[in-house]
Structure formats: C-alpha cells, structure tokens
A and B are shown apart, each in its own frame.
Chain A
C-alpha cells in the first residue's frame, strides 16, 4: 500500500504528469502542488542507471508513479514479449508502482516498428488480443488497463465499431479501461463520429486511469496525436463528461511529449484537471487513492 504512505505536498492525488528527463531540473526545484503522481514508460526507464536512474529513484521515493507501456504490442503478430513483462513487473516492484497500462494497438511483427498501429477490428482480433492481455496480466500478477488508441487509418474488414472493439477486448480479457479522451477526440474528427456518443459506448465502469493531451492539426484538417500542444476545450469537455459517467475519482495524467512549455504553463493544465475533478466529485484531498488493479 505504498501509495497511501507517501507524504507529499499535493492537494490532490488524482492528477499527474508524464515524467520526462527534460522536466527533472524544474521538478527538482519544486513539484507543483497540483501534481499528485507521475507516469513513466518502462521502455524508457526500466534498468536505467546513472544520473537518470538516480533522479527517478529520488522521485519514486516521494511520489506515487504509474507505469504506462509502449512496446508490448498487445495486438501484434509477433510473440508476446514475456521478458519485457517480467522486467516491467520487477521495475514496478522496485519503485512501488501498482498500476500498469498499455495501448490497444500493435507495434511489432518479427521486429519492432517503434510506434502504435491500429488493430483490424474483427472477432478474431478480439479473441487474439484478449488472450494476450490475459497472459500479460498473469505475468504481471495484476489487472492492467488497456488504452483506446489514436489512429489515422481504419484497417479494412472491420466487423464492429471502434467502441465495440474496445469493449469486447476489455470484457473478454477481464482487464481495465485506460481512457484517453484526446484519442477519442482525434479519432472522432478523423473518422467523423460523435465523440460523446462513442464515450458512452465504452466500458466506463472499468476505467482505472485517464489520459488527457493536446494534438496537432495538419493543413488538410487531419488531427495527429502528438502530445505537443495545449489541451483544447472539446477535449476538456469530454474529460468532464467522462468523470460524470464514471462517477468516482480516477487518476488522470496530462501527457506532454513535444514543445514542452515551462512548468507554470504545464501546471495550469494540471490544475484544470483538478478543477474538473472537484466539480465532478467534490474536494478530493481527503479521499485515499484507490488501488484499482487489485484482483
């Protein structure tokens, strides 16, 4: 129960920020009170020594961290990487982390492509992916969250909508939902559907974790999920709608990977997460953080 024993100056344990090496100097000066936790990618941080490893340790000793994977290729044709899972499990133990999430996507065949790609939305793919998620959960010894991904193409031969696909996979795997509201918005604009209707079709009762981020708009109007801009109002509105539907506080992380502004500007966005959480759930400082992954 490491999360409850941390003594931090945070006013809220439910809003967090992606932990990045370039943010460390600013965070060493002061961690804004709006930040209650951090998120790390095991692919960047597990087995990291030297200054970066030392810095990570200094923060995981003071703050709760969430582990968010990138390379597991849950829906990919290559074999499930057992070694990656075992090393992720050890990494989480070393740093007292208890929540792991990954993308509902794929990134490798017989070699890694190093980015997130869309899974064809068929019954067969549901069974295949759900079975791999279940195996991942067995190795990690916990339920994991699976994130709705952003995509720019719809693989041909789909037998269901994206929301149906997410629900089917999550229910068959008996895993949790990692909800990314920016990804919903990006896909809704790129494929022409109502993001709020989509949101309501997801298995929100299984939500363990939420991402919010900014995106980039190309000249032709296509939205690219860059995590390189400020969060826009329609995405904040989706976040608020999600909170009202979920009905209980849920850890929410601001993702910012490019064009990273100063800590003050980032803090304004994290503070907005806090504001929306308090509007939906009341004051959260007294609520102990849930352990959503306990099986």
Chain B
C-alpha cells in the first residue's frame, strides 16, 4: 500500500461505519460529519427511489438502519448507478443480515427492482413476425421482461396491506411497445407455459407437452385453450410474435 492510501482506507472505513470506527487522523469531526451525511444521503437516494413500497411497509427507522448496514457491509463493485438497487436486492437475499426483517421483504424488493430493470433494459429485438401463427412457429417472448415468482402477493402490497398472508404469486413485469412498464398476474400453469415457450417450442408443442405432463384427458381442448392464452399474451405485449 502506498502511504497516502492509508488515509483513503481509513476514510472509506469510517464513511461506511461512522459510529463504530475512528475518523481518519487529522480530520476535524465537523467536516468529517459533512462527508458522512453527504455519502449516506446519496446512497439512500438511489435506494429510496427504487423501493418506495418496501420503505413504507418497513417504516422509516428500520428502513434507514437497513440502508446503513447495506452501505457498511456490502461491497458494491458496479460503477453504474442504476445497478445499485440490484446490489441492494442481492444484499437482502445473500447477506446474513442480523436486523429482524419481515419474511416478504426480499421478495417485495425484487419485484420493485424488476420495474426498474424492465424500464431501462437495453435489449435487441430479434427478427420476428408480429402476426405469425403462435401455434405453428417458435414464439418470441418480450425480452424486456422479468418473470417474478413469490410466496407473497407482492403486486398488491401497499401501505394499507393488512392481510399479510402468504399467497404464491406469478407475475410478468414487462415493457410495452410504448416503453411503459406493465405487469400482468398469471397462474402457475401460464408460468410453466412461458418457460416452455422460452425453450424454443411452438404453441402446439408447448400445449402437447403440457397435456402429457398433466395427463390431460382431452389434449385437443387444451390446444384451443392454449391458443386463446397465447393471443391474449400477445395482445398484452408479453409475446411479440413468432421468430423468423
């Protein structure tokens, strides 16, 4: 380590944990406090703007404490500011956090983060036919899309969310043709259909596979149901058409 870097390491350590580490030698307390506040306010700004519902449901005190331990304990290597919320989501699910937190928090954070991810996702659209026959050709799913599976109804959580009961939830968060972020709630079977379509199957192949897995008594009826489902998903913007 070069000698001037000792100061930098001391300063970084103190900025991450001002209450439990000494401030760097030779730095007045008042001026150091300015940096402590500026940097923590800055990081809170990035996190607060992405997770308004988490913040509201957790309450200001616990939320701020969580932001502090994130800044203190988690090393973010990304230089891209819009990826800071993603680091926070990883912190919630991967770090051994001592603060008692509601069981739904990590899932809710992942859902709120999905809206940001979808909003700014830089995706290339493969060649496709928007009017292609979804049953006969491999289907192109919207690439600006995040599939959310949660044990909690994360899309219905808001400050008045009283029920607080687990309820397995499948959501698709996606960006439509007008660049607006939308979500649609689906069921477990549709979620499975999406996975099969993503593996490159046509609509017909997908619902034949599904009929086999379910031991369905009338596979042809399932094909009819499936076609209506795919058309509906295309109207919403979850499917973009068929691959060409």
Contact = CB atoms under 8 A, between A and B. Distances in A.
Interface string A152-193: 110111000000000000000000000000000000000000
A109 B7 contact: no
A43 interface: yes
A49 B4 contact: no
Contact of B9 (A52, A77, A122): A77
B240 interface: no
Interface string A104-132: 00101111111101011010110010000
B168 interface: no
B84 A52 contact: no
A98 B182 CA distance: 37
Contacts of A25: none
Nearest to A53: B122
Contacts of B164: none
B131 interface: no
B189 interface: no
Contacts of A49: 120-123, 144
Nearest to A115: B39
B229 interface: no
Given A49-B121, A113-B15, A155 B7 contact: yes
Nearest to B2: A124
B1 A47 contact: no
A113 B74 CA distance: 11
A50 B144 contact: yes
Given A49-B144, A156-B25, A117 B35 contact: yes
A187 to B, nearest CB: 12
B35 A152 contact: yes
B77 A112 contact: yes
A106 B38 contact: no
A71 B8 contact: no
B215 interface: no
B120 A43 contact: no
B5 A77 contact: yes
A109 B9 contact: yes
B39 A112 contact: no
Contact of B38 (A72, A81, A108, A115): A115
Given A112-B77, A114-B42, A50 B34 contact: no
Interface string B26-37: 111011101100
Interface of A: 43-44, 46-54, 70-72, 76-77, 81, 84, 106, 108-115, 117, 119-120, 122, 124-125, 128, 152-153, 155-157, 218, 220, 222, 224
